[in-house]
Structure 1
């Protein structure tokens, strides 16, 4: 049983976390390059948040959204 858990440890530490170790080492030499992935993820999330809000506004303007509190059976 111990070998099984050591195998899981080896999988994560030696293989799956290698890109994160690379980013941690890169941060010491270039902060901007190390954090570019975070900034890209933030920009993508911000874009889709704005997109989702615009879609909700479209549905609300067309009166397609049922805002009655009994719209779902578990609310009544």
Structure 2
């Protein structure tokens, strides 16, 4: 049983955490380089939030938005 858990440890430490170790070493030389993934994800999220708000505004301008408070039976 001990070998099974050592195998799991080896899998994570030797293989699956290698990208994290590389980012940790990169942070010592450049902070922006180590956080490039975060910047990319924040940019993607910001783009889709703007897209979502534009779509909401488009539906509101076409009067397709239902704002009936009795849409749910528990609100009657």
TM-score (ref. length: structure 1): 0.79
Equivalent residue pairs, number:
76
Equivalence for 1:48: 48
CA RMSD of superposed structures (Å): 2.0
- Is 66-75 or 24-33 further displaced after alignment? 66-75
Which ranges of structure 1 fall in alignment gaps of 5 or more residues?
A: none
Equivalence for 1:71: 71
Equivalence for 2:57: 57
Tell me, what secondary structure is at the counterpart of 1:67?
coil
Equivalence for 1:23: 23
User: What is the CA distance between 1:17 and its match in structure 2?
Assistant: 1.6
Which ranges of structure 2 fall in alignment gaps of 5 or more residues?
A: none
